[in-house]
Amino acid sequence: MTPVSGALNMVDAWVIDVDGCLVSTSRAGGQGGTPIPGAVEFIRAVRDSGHAMRVVTNASACTPHRYAQQLREMGFDLSDDEFITAGSAAAAYIAATHAGARVLAIAEEGIVEPLAALDVDVTVDDAEGVSVVVVGAVDILDMSRLGAACHAVADNGAALYVTVNTPWFHGGRGRSVCTSAATAHAIAWVTGVEPVVLGKPSDALAATLRRQLGGDAVAIAVVGDAPAEVALAREMDALSIGVLTGALTRKAVADASDRTRTPDVIVDSIADLTDHIAPADSTRPHV
Ligand SMILES: [Mg+2]
């Protein structure tokens, strides 16, 4: 395991998780939560250092603006543009790779609004002409929409995307079901088509984040409490930092047989990183 200070010497850009990392919550995206002690100060220190950052949640029910606003109300100094959800990432990917496609979204505003903002032809209730199905978190699953999605995939050969592919969300206060993954796997069971993931730790999101943070030359740290952030760091060729305020436990890391699936650095809390943030260095490449 690498010591914290040495590991952070060259880091000048950050990807930071929300649930169980910045915020202790029982609902995805930091909703109804409270800041983890020292997390607000950590974000302020990153801001003061001049480093670029993206705060990335696998939540998809609300828009990035809504989630970012909730974090601002808790005291976090974050702009809408610095906040990425699995929903906004999915919308951006679909708009870029399926130009002109009609998209069936089993999702809330967190995907439907970003798709519409990108001028994607989006429907929420019929399979007619649909060549892409995207599944995000939903509060109520309408069986007619589930049926339409199955028909689009099975009959039209529509591509099937999902925001995340884990059974549970961990927010530091227990866990909740990932309705996106559960719904997508229902469609997969019916159609035999496995969903493609577009949130953490997908290669699509990894490429987007690295591009937004300045490209290949930038030294990036990915901070989070779950295996998804470790895997994302590997996809991004970034430093993986695990915090113990959410899903991850020191025992699980010690027991892990596959070192590629464990963080490079482990700290009790994101607050433990604040004093080790390197100052902005004009000799290093920046965004
Ligand atoms: Mg988390």
Helix (H, G, I), strand (E, B) or coil at 35: strand
Q: 166 to each of 121, 170, 260, how far by Cα in Å?
A: 28, 10, 18
How much distance in Å is there from the Cα of 241 to the middle of ligand 1? Answer: 12
How much distance in Å is there from the Cα of 221 to the middle of ligand 1? Answer: 15
| Digit-coded pLDDT (tens) for 68-99 | 999 999 999 999 999 999 999 999 999 999 99
- Return residue ranges of the chain for CATH 3.40.50.1000: 4-86+200-276, 98-197
Cα(12)–Cα(277) distance, rounded to whole angstroms? Answer: 8
How much distance in Å is there from the Cα of 246 to the middle of ligand 1? Answer: 6
| Digit-coded pLDDT (tens) for 96-124 | 999 999 999 999 999 999 999 999 999 98
Res. 284: pLDDT tops 60 = no
Angle at which helices 109-117 and 86-97 cross, to 10°: 40
Res. 174: pLDDT tops 80 = no
Query: What is the chain's mean pLDDT, rounded?
Result: 92
More confident residue, 136 or 126: 136
What six digits make up the tokens of 198? Answer: 């577009």
What six digits make up the tokens of 119? Answer: 């001028």
How much distance in Å is there from the Cα of 19 to the middle of ligand 1? Answer: 4
- Residues in the 5 Å CB sphere of ion ligand 1: 17, 19-20, 225-226, 246
How much distance in Å is there from the Cα of 172 to the middle of ligand 1? Answer: 8
How much distance in Å is there from the Cα of 4 to the middle of ligand 1? Answer: 20
| Digit-coded pLDDT (tens) for 178-187 | 999 999 999 9
- pLDDT, mean of residues 221-232: 95
Q: 208 to each of 54, 115, 241, how far by Cα in Å?
A: 11, 17, 20
> Which of 47, 9, 19, 54 has its CA nearest to residue 207?
54
Res. 287: pLDDT tops 60 = no
Res. 219: pLDDT tops 70 = yes
Domain 98-197 homologous superfamily, CATH: HAD superfamily/HAD-like (3.40.50.1000)
CA triple 20-26-32, angle to 5 deg: 100
Cα(110)–Cα(15) distance, rounded to whole angstroms? Answer: 20
| CA end-to-end span of the chain | 29
How much distance in Å is there from the Cα of 24 to the middle of ligand 1? Answer: 9
pTM, entire model:
0.91
Give the pairing of strands 168-170 and 175-177: antiparallel
What six digits make up the tokens of 162? Answer: 């999902």
How much distance in Å is there from the Cα of 260 to the middle of ligand 1? Answer: 19
| Partners of residue 52 on adjacent β-strands | 13
Helix (H, G, I), strand (E, B) or coil at 86: helix
CATH of domain 4-86+200-276: 3.40.50.1000
| Partners of residue 176 on adjacent β-strands | 169
